[in-house]
Amino acid sequence: MKLAYVKGPLVAVFAGSWLCEKSPVDGVPILLGEPIGECAGDVARLISIATTVRAVKRLGARVYVSEALGADGVDAAFAGGADGVVEELGASKDAAGGTQAVVVEAGDVAELLNKARRLGEEVRRGFEVLVAAPFDKAVELAPFVDGVVLTGGWVEVGLEEVGHVPEVGRCTACGVDYLMYGETIRRCVYCGRRLVKVITSTRPPRSRPVFRAVAKKYLKLAIHRFKVV
Ligand SMILES: [Zn+2]
């Protein structure tokens, strides 16, 4: 099905290329309103997970997810820049057994900080504090901890079927995407730089190091608008 990204944050993060014939590479930002390619399956859910992870990453926090998301969901999280899967960390809920990381739940900042201090008093050694929280809570608590375990509250993402998917060229300097419905251009009309092809049928392998590398590359990139040419 030919799809466009029609509902959600102004900039989302693409994930789920393995369900697509043509699409952006996993981890690449997409702009609200843009066509994204030809996909089958629940790509909207994967974009939602990747986009939510990226939003927390941009605050500077480390982000973990649970394997309960399933293999596709976990890979989408890595496309968004996730640092790991909480089950693989060997974290505990009470700092018992010498674990290096402790996952706490807290309704507010005061509860979080008091819980961390009490655990310190109890075990008398260092550990990292990860807070398990849905997205909106995670944003509030992230500045006070070593990392966040995202448990839900994924941002809403809507896709819609479209009749045609044009070539999309991106100027990473100006933050402009060119939707080539009419003519095909190779260079940015504002700065003259070569455009990067956003929608492609060739893609890197589905592996965590590759997801990580792409996510890192695009963490700070801001796409501001698109222009139909
Ligand atoms: Zn430009």
Task: Please determine, for residue 93, whether its predicted confidence score (pLDDT) is greater than 90.
Answer: no
User: Ligand 1: distance of its center to the CA of 48 in Å?
Assistant: 28
| Residue 42 Cα to chain centre, angstroms | 16
User: Ligand 1: distance of its center to the CA of 221 in Å?
Assistant: 13
Q: Which contiguous run of DSSP H or E holds residue 180? A: strand 176-180
User: Ligand 1: distance of its center to the CA of 1 in Å?
Assistant: 31
- Tell me the CA distances in angstroms from 145 to 41, 96, 140, 178, 223, one per residue in order: 36, 19, 11, 40, 30
User: Ligand 1: distance of its center to the CA of 28 in Å?
Assistant: 18
User: Ligand 1: distance of its center to the CA of 170 in Å?
Assistant: 8
Of the chain, the percentage scoring pLDDT greater than 70 comes to: 98
Mean pLDDT of 20-31: 96
222 burial via Cβ count (<10 Å: 0-12, 13-18, 19+): exposed
User: Ligand 1: distance of its center to the CA of 7 in Å?
Assistant: 26
Mean pLDDT of 152-168: 97
Measured from the Cβ of residue 60, the count of other Cβ atoms closer than 10 Å reads 8
Mean pLDDT of 175-179: 97
Both tokens of 193, joined, read 């730089």
User: Ligand 1: distance of its center to the CA of 217 in Å?
Assistant: 18
Mean pLDDT of 181-208: 95
Task: Please determine, for residue 16, whether its predicted confidence score (pLDDT) is greater than 90.
Answer: yes
